[in-house]
Amino acid sequence: MVDVRSAASAPKQEIRLEDYEAPAFTIESINLIFRLHDDYAEVEARSLFRMKKGAGSELRLDGGPYMDLLALEIDGSPVPDDQFVKSAEVLQLRSVPEKFELGVVTRLRPRENTRLEGLYFSGGNFCTQCEAEGFRHITYFPDRPDVLTRYHVRIEADTKSCPVLLSNGNPGQKGDLGDGRHFAEWNDPHPKPSYLFALVAGNLACQNDSYTTASGRQVDLNIYVSEQDLDKCDYAMQSLKRSMAWDEEVFGLEYDLDVYNIVAVSDFNMGAMENKGLNIFNTKYVLASPETATDADFDHVEGVIGHEYFHNWTGNRVTCRDWFQLSLKEGLTVFRDQEFSSDMTSRAVKRLDDVRVLRMLQFPEDAGPLAHPVRPEKYIEINNFYTTTVYNKGAEVIRMMHSIIGPEAFRKGMDLYFERHDGQAATCEDFAAAMEDASGADLKQFRLWYSQAGTPKVTARRSHEGRDLIITLEQSCAPSPGQGVKLPYHMPIRLGLVGPNGGEVTADLEGDGKWEDGSCIVNLRETHQSFRFKNVPEGTVPSILRGFSAPVVLDHDLSDDELAFLAVQDSDPFVRWESTQDLYSRYLVKQVSEDGEGHPPELLLQVFTGHLADKATDPALVAELLTLPGEIALGQKMESLAPERIHTARETLAKAFADASSENIIDLYQSLKAAQGYSHEQGAKANRRLRNVLLNYIALMPDGEETTQRRYAEADNMTDCMAALSLISHSNFDCRDKVLQEFYDKWRQNDLVIDKWFAVQAQSKRSDTVSKVRELTQHEAFTFKNPNRLRSLISTFSMLNQVRFHEKNGEGYRFLAEMIVRVDELNPQTAARLVAPLGRWGRVDEPRKGFMKDALMSVLKVSNLSDDVRELVEKSLA
Ligand code: B3K
Ligand code: ZN
């Protein structure tokens, strides 16, 4: 095993936004020749450089420690040794002409590349990952997003082992080279930064289709996968076509090449990569069949296919000037994929899912030692900034602009942004300016969302004057690392007024805001600001933060009865859900702090049974209304985390609901049984979602084991199978071990399903989980080399299983620390992604706090730690 860290050099220096300097050279074009061999690859790069006016004649190129430099030439002549200096990361040429062709030949070892960045080997195929700084591990080059050039690529490889040769752009010549080798050429007419370069060579099967764009251009669509997965690409292909049509319809954006290629590989650090014309995907987000993928998996495939496709405009045609601007493409593209999925499925349920993810992952990041603004100001390792703040909070920032200026102005703003910046590397400021210019709105204060970290808190209080209702909003934001004092944000708060009979009330507003589709969007800009609604009927209840219109923590003064009223009556699905959750949470938090065991109040049971009987609402939403707040969400509502007590209180309430409503639950469960067998239609998916939520309660009833086991045995799709398996995995049912073993034996050939098998055990609430998870790292199917496998066991355990990760003896923390060190030897990027849960020590009491810090310290003591892990561990301890 090669320890990738031993090749690394001195620790990297911090990079700062304020130090940005434009590049000194432009590059007209690059010709790349890849000569791929079984055990090495040779890369010849010829680029036409042109010095910018006033720039010095020194040329600095980025490089990496894992490649050999075989040749360096200027205009065809070797550069003498005394004319350049090469360190592990930089190649510096002392003096170059104003215009010249730079020739660089490097030798790489893709098979030894376990970091999965640059050129590597996965499942028998060569593939690349260049974002953010992987191209420098292929050749010496100005590897920065503001250097755009035209790529011509030629790939030469063995005909038998690599029949498929792909790169960006449109296909060019191909042919035989003799000696069992062949070649293919690719030309990308669109100038692009190096992070969008891609290459794939291997033995892959292909599903083809085609799409005709609005202006009549025919595009060949290809999805490349390994032969045995060819039957699982239909959904990805349909999703791609839906994405293409959606972007034309909603944003007037068409695809711009003759081919769109997608390749699925099993070893991948993230979900997927938007390389121009050649997306490379984690198999997890391409392959889906009802037998092997859950409904949620199908949704993720559609979302990620959409996301990468939408990057073609937001990311590729307009790219980022520097990596501090990452949210320019990621926040915007997440917003676009969320909107796409909302249009394809249920907008209400999609919003709940997105808010849940934001709260579960981004809020803790924003409240902890790794908090950073949507546009960070400094970093050591940029890969550590592909965070939920940059992505998901970044998307919320775009969504707020959309709310403030309205959908029409937003579309105009997008048009203007493309008109101004197509073909350029832009900044978040450019985007905000386009929105401002298109709408006439003043977004000066709004820009604080880009520069200030932390989740603001908004307090809403009511008062009455005669028949007028006055809502006073107050905002604050706690300090975060490097930011002691925060200025007030400009945030759109969407409000509604629900009259005593449940109808929407529209009242004249005194204050900064406007009514739109039954809701009023008010602009909160001050620390303390009031909004007067005139002449409001008595008994009207305000519905605040409809659609979760701003990423804040809301504190309101609604009574339990008012929450129960909104839970049933509000026209806004988000507030219905939120009110229900608030009601359940209030009770649970009280139970935890008082260690209470009493029966839940009648009001809670009424709300629960009311939702059970609701036939007018989408069953997928009803499923959410019947789901208790998760343990992590409950933990966030407490000063100091009490993991076991939260777990017990939640289980106790679930059992009380199950006991009190057993008949209704069973009746509804039976009535939802699919008459016609499996279908992937929205209605069928919604019914499955509801049915599986009900199964959670049924599992707690006297015949729970039998029903759950039957559900497992009769499942004709992976959604139902996993719902039952997850309950079995939590349980002490006699069948538990046998069922888990059977599942493994049945699916051992399918990596993505085996990932689920690991995850379902990592999530188990049983008291033996930590030791089981540790044991599973010794299982024949476990490997430290595959990021999906690592995430399914280690991240699932440490990020989703609150009660077991925070085991009082500190075993969960020590286990995670050991894993971080093990993974770092092979793959620093993935290792760094494991660190965050250990940084949450501020949330727990002793002895946990001490154990968490000890675990972090133990990582820091390891010699040769990667910059990736070191940066996050040091920050986590600060
Ligand atoms: N842009 C890539 C992420 C690259 C991560 C590099 N560490 C995928 C995406 O967001 O679409
Ligand atoms: Zn993205």
| Digit-coded pLDDT (tens) for 554-593 | 999 999 999 999 999 999 999 999 999 999 999 999 999 9
SS3 assignment, position 62? strand
What pLDDT, on the 0 to 100 scale, is given for residue 10? 75
Q: Can you tell me the mean pLDDT for 39-44?
A: 98
Question: Rounded to the nearest whole angstrom, what is the distance from the C-alpha of residue 261 to the centroid of ligand 2?
Answer: 17
Mutate to test the pocket of ligand 1, among 127, 130, 131, 333 (most ligand atoms within 8 A of CB): 131
Residue 418 phi, psi (nearest 5): -70, -40
Contact 373, 450 (CB under 8 A): yes
How would residue 675 be classed by pLDDT, with cut points 50, 70 and 90?
Answer: confident
Tell me how far the alpha carbon of residue 379 lies from the centroid of ligand 1, in angstroms: 17
Active-site amino acid positions: 308
User: What are 738's two structure tokens?
Assistant: 């046998």
Half-sphere CA count of 380, side-chain side, radius 13 A: 17
Atom of ligand 1 nearest to the CA of 272: 8
**DSSP state at residue 199:** E
Cα–Cα distances (Å) from 851 to 19, 84, 809, in that order, read 39, 50, 8
Considering only CA atoms, which residue is closest to atom 2 of ligand 1? 273
> Which atom from ligand 1 is nearest to the alpha carbon of 330?
10
pLDDT single digits (tens) 633-651: 999 999 999 999 999 999 9
Residue 5 is predicted with a pLDDT of 45
Q: Hey, which of 116, 243, 273 would you mutate to test ligand 1's pocket, going by the most ligand atoms within 8 Å of its Cβ?
A: 273
Assigned token pair, 245: 């049509």
Ligand nearest to the CA of 395: 2
- Bridge partners, residue 278, by sequence: 261
Q: Which two tokens stand for residue 761?
A: 């055990």
- Contact status, residue 832 vs residue 868, Cβ threshold 8 Å: yes
336 Cα–ligand 2 center, Å: 10
Which is the closest atom of ligand 1 to the Cα of 383?
7
Both structure tokens of 539: 């008994």
Quote the CA–CA distance of 858 and 846 in Å, as a whole number.
18
CA distances from 198 to 261, 767, 786 (A): 11, 46, 20
Judging by beta carbons within 10 Å of its beta carbon (0-12, 13-18, 19+), is residue 228 exposed, middle or buried?
exposed
Total number of residues shown for the chain? 878
- What is the rounded distance in angstroms from the CA atom of residue 354 to the CA atom of residue 352? 5
Ligand nearest to the CA of 330: 2
Q: Cα of 681 to ligand 2 centre, how many Å?
A: 28
Cα 783 from Cα 776, distance rounded (Å): 10
Q: ∠ CA 29-33-38 to the nearest 5 degrees?
A: 155
Going from the C-alpha of 867 to that of each of 209, 710, 797, 829, the distances in angstroms are 43, 50, 25, 9
Buried b (16+ CB within 10 A) or exposed e, 275-302: bbbbbbbbbbbbbbbbbbbbbebbbbbb
Residue 542, both tokens: 């305000």
The pLDDT value recorded for residue 319 is 99
Q: What mean pLDDT do residues 80-109 have?
A: 97
Coil, helix or strand at residue 807: coil
Local structure of 383: helix, strand or coil:
helix
Task: Determine the Cα–Cα distance for residues 219 and 226; give it in Å rounded to an integer.
Answer: 23
Residues with CB under 6 A from ligand 1: 131-132, 270, 272-274, 307-308, 311, 330, 383, 386
Nearest ligand, CA 868? 1
What spacing in Å lies between the alpha carbon of 131 and ligand 1's midpoint?
Answer: 6
Neighbours of 552 (CB within 10 A): 20
Residue closest via CA to ligand 1's atom 7 equals 383
Judge contact between 492 and 400, C-beta under 8 A. yes
- Distance, CA 367 to ligand 2 centroid (Å)? 24
Buried b / exposed e over 101-117, threshold 16 CB at 10 Å, is ebbbbbebbbeebbbbb
Q: Which pTM was predicted?
A: 0.98
Which residue lies with its CA nearest to atom 9 of ligand 1? 273
- Predicted confidence (pLDDT) per residue in 814-855, tens digit: 999 999 999 999 999 999 999 999 999 999 999 999 999 999
Ligand 1 atom with the smallest distance to the CA of 829 is: 7
**Ligand 1: which residue has its CA nearest to atom 1?**
273
Contact predicate 168/316, CB 8 Å: no
For ligand 1, the distance from its centroid to the CA atom of residue 604, given in whole angstroms, is 43
**pLDDT exceeds cutoff 50 at 6:** no
Strand partners, 519: 516
Cα distance between residue 777 and residue 772, in whole Å: 9
pLDDT band at 323 (very low <50, low <70, confident <90, very high): very high
The separation between CA 794 and the C-alpha centre of its own chain, rounded to angstroms, equals 17
* Nearest atom (ligand 1) to Cα of 274: 11
pLDDT at position 812 is: 98
Q: Pick the ligand that lies closest to the CA of residue 274.
A: 1
Helices (H), 140-262: 234-251
Task: Write out the two tokens for 291.
Answer: 């037998």
Ligand 1, atom 4: nearest CA belongs to which residue? 131
| pLDDT level of residue 404 (50, 70, 90 thresholds) | very high
Q: How far, in Å, from the CA of 47 to the mean position of ligand 1?
A: 26
Per-residue pLDDT averaged across 530-540, rounded?
97
Q: What is the mean pLDDT of the chain?
A: 97
Instruction: Specify which residues 167 forms β-bridges with.
Output: 199
CA 382 to ligand 1: nearest atom = 7
The confidence score (pLDDT) of residue 9 equals: 60
Cβ contact 523:429 at 8 Å? no
> Is the Cβ–Cβ distance between 545 and 494 less than 8 Å?
yes
Query: Tokens 């031993």 appear where?
Result: 6
Amino acid at 54: G
Q: Residue 617: helix, strand or coil by DSSP?
A: coil
Give the pLDDT confidence of 777-813 residue by residue, as tens digits.
999 999 999 999 999 999 999 999 999 999 999 999 9
Three-state SS at 513: strand
Pick the residue whose CA is nearest to atom 8 on ligand 1. 273
Q: For residue range 338-368, what is the model confidence (pLDDT) as tens digits?
A: 999 999 999 999 999 999 999 999 999 999 9
Domains within the chain, CATH numbers bracketed: 21-203 (2.60.40.1730), 321-451 (1.10.390.10), 457-550 (2.60.40.1840)
What's residue 694's pLDDT? 98
How far is the C-alpha of 614 from the C-alpha of 625, rounded, in Å? Answer: 10
| 7 pLDDT higher than 60 | no
Q: Report the distance separating Cα 308 and Cα 252, nearest Å.
A: 17
d(CA 148, CA 748) in angstroms, rounded, equals 45
Task: Tell me how far apart the terminal alpha carbons of the chain are, to the nearest angstrom.
Answer: 33
Task: Answer for the pair 197, 135: CB distance below 8 angstroms, yes or no.
Answer: yes
Three-state DSSP class for residue 256: coil
**Atom 5 of ligand 1 has which residue's CA nearest to it?**
131
Q: What one-character DSSP code corresponds to residue 321?
A: S
Minimum-distance ligand 1 atom for the alpha carbon of 391: 10
567 in helix, strand or coil?
helix
pLDDT value of residue 673: 85
- Per DSSP (E only), the strands in 6-141 are 15-16, 25-36, 41-51, 59-62, 68-74, 77-78, 84-86, 90-93, 99-108, 118-122, 125-129
Give the ligand 1 atom nearest the CA of 307.
11
pLDDT at 56 over 80: yes
> Residue 334 Cα, ligand 2 centroid: separation in angstroms?
7
Residue 276 CA: distances (Å) to CA of 193, 199, 280, 494:
10, 11, 10, 38
What secondary structure letter does DSSP report for 2?
Answer: -
Q: Which of 270, 392, 833 to mutate to test the pocket of ligand 1 (most atoms within 8 A of CB)?
A: 270
- 451 alpha carbon – ligand 2 mean position (Å): 20
For every residue of 449-463, DSSP letters joined together read: HHH--S--EEEEEEE
What angle (nearest 5°) sits at the alpha carbon of residue 320, between those of residues 319 and 323? 145
Alpha-carbon gap, residue 405 to 414, rounded angstroms: 12
State in Å: Cα 333 to ligand 2 middle: 6
Whole-number Å distance between alpha carbons of 337 and 144: 26
Ligand nearest to the CA of 334: 2
How far is Cα 819 from Cα 826, in angstroms, rounded to an integer? 11
Letter string b/e over residues 39-76, b meaning 16 or more CB atoms within 10 A of that residue's CB: eebbbbbbbbbebeeeeeeebebbbbebbeeeebebee
Q: Which atom of ligand 1 lies closest to the CA of 269?
A: 7
Omega of the bond leading into 847 within 30 degrees of 0 (cis) = yes
Residue nearest to atom 3 of ligand 1 (CA): 273
Which ligand is nearest the CA of 285, by number? 1
- pLDDT computed for residue 1 by the predictor: 35
Q: Which amino acid is at 805?
A: F
| 820: enclosing H helix or E strand | helix 811-824
Nearest partner of 161 among 121, 191, 217, judged by Cα? 121
Q: What is the pLDDT of residue 802?
A: 98
Q: Which ligand is nearest to the CA of 275?
A: 1
* For residue 257, pLDDT beyond 80: yes
Which string of b and e fits 724-762 if b means at least 16 CB within 10 Å? bbbbbbbbebebbeebbeebbeebeebbbbbbbbbbbbb
Ligand 2 mean position, distance from CA 715 (Å): 35
CA atoms of 615 and 608, how far apart (whole Å): 14
Q: Report the pLDDT averaged over residues 475-481.
A: 98
Can the peptide bond before residue 132 be classed as cis, meaning omega within 30 degrees of 0?
Answer: yes
**206-243: pLDDT as tens digits:** 999 999 999 999 999 999 999 999 999 999 999 999 99
Which mutation among 386, 392, 830, 867 tests ligand 1's pocket best, with the greatest number of atoms within 8 A of CB? 386
Residue 272's CB: how many other CB atoms inside 10 A? 21
Token pair of 154 as six digits: 């030629």
Of 197, 203, 181, nearest to 47 by C-alpha is 197
| Of 269, 280, 330, 336, best ligand 1 pocket probe by most atoms within 8 Å of the beta carbon | 330
Closest CA to 797 of 858, 867, 744, 729: 729
Atom of ligand 1 nearest to the CA of 308: 11
The two structure tokens encoding residue 566: 């909104």
Residue 761 is which amino acid?
Answer: Q
